Structures are given as C-alpha cells and as structure tokens.
Structure 1
Amino acid sequence: MDLHKLRSFMKKVNERLETELSQAIVKLHAPQKIKDAMAYSLQAGGKRIRPTLLLATLHAFGKEMKYGIKTACALEMVHTYSLIHDDLPAMDNDDLRRGKPTNHKVFGEAYSILAGDGLLTYSFQMIAQDSTLTSEQKVKIIELLAIAAGPEGMVGGQVADMLGEKQELSIEELEYIHRNKTGKLLTFSAVAGAIIAGASSEQIDLLEKYAENIGLAFQIRDDILDIEGKEEIIGKPVGSDEGNVKSTYPSLLTLDGAKERLHYHTNLAKDMLRDLNLDTKLLEELAELIVVRNH
C-alpha cells in the first residue's frame, strides 16, 4: 500500500488545521504570554493523527471537512495539553518534544501548566461555539471528549502508567494503560467524526472497535520505535523506556512478539471497516500508516 491518498489528505488536513489553530489563538482575549505558550506547543508539528482520523471518518461518509474542523482543533488542543503536562519535571521531566525544547524549558513550569490548562478548557469552548453542529451534537461530543480526556480515559491511564513504573506489569495491565492513556482520544476521534456525519449506532460501534485497535497498534509501534527508531527522526532519545525500567510490549512479548501483536490489531481494525459499506480507503491507509511510521 503506497498511502498516496492518505498522505495527500493529511497534507490538506495539516494546512487547514494550522490555519484554524493559529486563528483560534490570535483571537483570544488573553495575555500575550499565555497565547505564546499555547501556540508554541500547538505549532510544534507532530503527526496530527487524531484530527486526521476524525476528518477521514467524515470523508468516509462523504461529508466536507468544514463540519469537523473545529472539533478536530479542539481534539488537537486536548492532545497538546496532555503533552505539555506529561513533559513537566513532576511527570516525565523531558527536555525535548518533537525535536524542540519542551514547553517548560522555554516558558517555565508555571506558564506551561497554565498553557496546558488553557488549551484543555479552550477545546470545549471551540466545540460549543461551532455553528456547523447542532445543539445535540455539541452536547454529545463535549460529553465524549470529557470522558476520553478525564479520569475514565487519558488521565486515568496516565495515573495507572505512573503507578506501574519500575514494576513488571501483565499484558492486561499494560493494555489498560494504553487503552486509556492513548486509545480513548483516538476512539473519540472516530466516534466524533461519525456523530457529526450522522452515522447509525451500528456504524458508530464498528468505528469505535476500529479505533480501539489502531489505538493499541499505535502504542505498540511507539514501543518498537523506542528500540529501533532514530533519535533525529522521532525527536526524542531512543531507549528511554528500558532506561526507565518501564513495561512495554517488547519487554513483555519480545520484539518479534510485539511486531506480531502490532499486525494483529491492525488487521482487526481493517476487518471492522469491511462491514461499514462506505469509502474507507483513507481509514484503511491510516491503519497501515501506524504500522510503517518511523516517528
């Protein structure tokens, strides 16, 4: 699979996203310092997998990007807030993110915490003020984003990850961490796109299962890259998981076992798409991209 259609689509998504995110920060009535700190991490690049997944889901239903772009921006804000806070000295204490100094290295811890807080809360404002959504869609999407990002999702996964440090976890415990810390926002991406597109409950269920599997595949690939990746490409030191005595898929399953599990979840994700009877080419290629990505 050459991923040509997906790469072209991602280029359009990134261009539109950069414009929308930049405009969203500029129009804030807030001190320039906090706007600069928020913009610094938002504009640091990255894969933009979550907004791409949301908008590719819309595309599968034949819907235009404009209906999901505000929610896609909100989603990227939530993801970026989590990265800013993860990098803080009290958490992972990282100096680099996407090949650049982390937010707190540039703006200091206090402003970084506030930048993360600002992005998280602004995300819900973005959705609430989106004129392309119905009131019912706004309420449902805000509810699902809060669940995905909160103690029953990303925050809970992060806590479980911290509690599991320097311990050998079971594969079930590791999956719980990644289903929540990484997977819930990816699942939200597909489900939100489906809600905006007016999907049936059966279609939403299939897309939810698809996204759950690519979420696990995404994390397994991350663990593999921590062993096989190149620092100048992934933008952070390799081997950090082993150095931190952290349970990973390769440490629990061996590197070959992790690669087998990666393909298992990717294939399961693609199986879910076959029953949708939609144009799922972009979603199929997105699953493939997770397998071959090098950062």
Structure 2
Amino acid sequence: MVQKAISVNQALDASVPLKEPAKIHESMRYSLLAGGKRVRPVLCLAACELVGGNESMAMPAACAVEMIHTIGNSEVGLKELEFIHIHKTAKLLEGSVVLGAILGGGSDDEVERLRRYARDIGLLFQVVDDILDAGKDLVADKVTYPKLMGIEKSREFAEKLNEEAKEQLVGFDPVKAAPLIALANYIAYRQN
C-alpha cells in the first residue's frame, strides 16, 4: 500500500506541472500534493490489479479520483461537511474501487463484489469514526451509531461490516486481495 501511495504521489506531481500562470499552478500543486494517505487512488489501483489489470491502466483514473477528493475538501462549512461524510466519503470509495475493477477488466460479478466491499468499508469508516468521537458527539447531541445503538453494539456492527467487506474478496487471488484486506482491517481497528 505504501508503494502504491508513493506511485500515486509521483503521478499527481507529474499531472500538475509548474507552468504559467504560476500562481494558479502553485495553488493547485499545494492543495493536491499536501500529503495524505491516498486511500481512494490506492483502492482504485488495488482493485484494478485484483481483477487482472496493472497499475498503469488505472493510474489516470486513480489520480482523477484524488483530484475530486481534494477539490471537495476546500471551503466547506458544517452543513457541507455533514453531507460529505454521508455521501461523498462512501461514494468516492465505491467509485474508486469500481473504476479500478472496470479498468482492470473485471467481470460484472467481480465489479459488483468489489463495489459491495467498498460500500462496507465506507460505512465501517463512519461507524468507527463515530465510536472514536463518541464522547464529543454525545456532548454535541449528534446523532451517531453509538447514540442510536450504544458503544458495544456499534463495535459489533463495525466488526460485522469488516467481515462482510472481506467476504466480498473470497475467491480472488489472496496475494492480490491482501492490500484490500489490510485496508479493511486498518479502518476497523484504527485508533484515531
């Protein structure tokens, strides 16, 4: 996963060269190359490779997904942020995986299984986020999974989502599926 993120960073760097008008390109490069985990483009690349494609087939789409994500993170207020968490986070994860799977030549069944995997990890991310922020969210009277079902049931739900996500990868080459399994586990067991 780390090597894929490095490859994405190199491709992003090459995709927005410094040229005139310099101020605009500097600004674009600053936002795009500010760092980050590159989860969405890495998912796109991993899904492509999982179904038989290679990194170069999916890299343009992976970069496009990261550019969309970067654009969506600028100048948002509280209302927009809530909409992003509910819609963009999971949908952009799904789109990243589906793009990679289609570009890699995946069958309809493989693409659908990978879409379900991405949907599950997108929801898993939100549930774990809610668990990690439970104290702050309770004070803010925010509607979250822990508020609706309690912390323990939320943890059980997160575990169920993690298992369901990984079940979608059964039958794929285990070596090629390993990065996607690792990502699901990372999301499920992260501490921040």
Question: TM exceeds 0.5?
Answer: yes
Measured after TM superposition, the shift of residue 199 of structure 1 is 1.0
Q: Does 1:214 align with 2:110?
A: no
For residues 16-40 of structure 1, give each alpha carbon's deviation from its aligned partner in whole angstroms, at most 9, with x where no partner exists.
111111222215x653222222222
1:226 pairs with 120, 126, 133, which one? 133
- Determine the C-alpha separation between the residues in 1 that align with 2:12 and 2:31: 11
Question: Is the 1:206–1:276 contact (alpha carbons within 8 Å) kept by the matching residues of 2?
Answer: no
Partner secondary structure for residue 274 of structure 1 = coil
Unaligned stretches of 5+ in structure 2? none
Equivalences for residues 143-222 of structure 1 within 5 A: 158=80, 161=82, 178=86, 180-222=87-129
For the aligned residue pairs, the C-alpha RMSD in angstroms reads 2.4
**Number of aligned positions between the proteins:** 190
- Determine the C-alpha separation between the residues in 2 that align with 1:251 and 1:181: 23
Partner secondary structure for residue 126 of structure 2 = helix
| More moved, 41-50 vs 67-76 | 41-50
Partner secondary structure for residue 35 of structure 2 = coil
More helix, by proportion: 2
- Determine the C-alpha separation between the residues in 2 that align with 1:92 and 1:194: 34
| Equivalent residue, structure 1, for 2:36 | 46
Identity among equivalent positions (%) equals 35
- Determine the C-alpha separation between the residues in 1 that align with 2:92 and 2:43: 10
The one-letter code of the counterpart of 1:270 is: K
| Equivalent residue, structure 2, for 1:16 | 7
Off by >3 Å, runs of 4+ in structure 1: 241-245, 275-279
| Equivalent residue, structure 2, for 1:286 | 183
- What is the TM-score of this pair, normalised by structure 1? 0.58
Unaligned stretches of 5+ in structure 1? 1-9, 94-157, 163-176, 229-238
- What is the TM-score of this pair, normalised by structure 2? 0.86
Measured after TM superposition, the shift of residue 197 of structure 1 is 0.8
- Determine the C-alpha separation between the residues in 1 that align with 2:141 and 2:69: 25
Measured after TM superposition, the shift of residue 281 of structure 1 is 1.9
The one-letter code of the counterpart of 1:74 is: A
The one-letter code of the counterpart of 2:181 is: E
